[in-house]
Amino acid sequence: MVRGPIGREKGVFYEQERNRLPDPYISSKNHFPEPTVCPTCKLVYAKQHWHKNDGEATLLLNDKKTHKTKCPACRKIEDNYPMGVVNISGDFVSEHFEELVNLVKAEERRALEKNPLERLMKVDKVDGGIHVETTSESLALRIGRMLSKSYKGNTDFKFRYGDKYVIVDWAR
């Protein structure tokens, strides 16, 4: 059973309203100077978006005119500031641990194609379950939906009121 943002019941946002909330690491007013390269992950900021281009990043890193600063995802990882948490629990986890971890990592690879700022921060084995932290709430939602679609089980999405943060609990 999947439960999520159905309406304003009990302080839960409509998904459209939640998407309008700002990410504290991405300012809509102060854009990075172009070109900017993240020295940690080699993402390039151009045309007001971060994108992956290793060849361009290598050239830009050697250019003295290029602005170098950490991208929002690298800053979140450094600050240990997850925007999404996925808790995977139940007897099913012990029997299918590697399979579940592979599903989580595969979903990250798919998300990176669309938005290189959506990354896994941690994937830890805890008390017979798996604890995942992500740099974006949308990656946590994607993982929760994929778990529900692939393995059924019970999925619960909890949104923090007034913030872009989600906790996804999946159990089977």
The answer to whether the predicted template modeling score (pTM) of the entire model surpasses 0.75 is yes
For residues 36-47, give the mean pLDDT: 92
Domain ranges of the chain: 15-71, 82-171
Q: Which CATH number fits domain 82-171: 1.10.10, 3.40.50, 1.10.490, 3.30.70?
A: 3.30.70
Cα–Cα–Cα angle for 83, 66, 38, nearest 5°?
25
In sequence order, the 6+-apart residues with CB closer than 8 A to the CB of 161 are 11, 12, 13
Pull the structure tokens for residue 78: 């450094």
Contacts of 51 (CB under 8 A, 6+ apart): 43, 44, 116
Encode pLDDT of 143-168 as tens digits.
999 999 999 999 999 988 777 899 99
**What CA–CA distances, in Å, run from 80 to 84, 121, 122, 133?**
12, 8, 10, 9
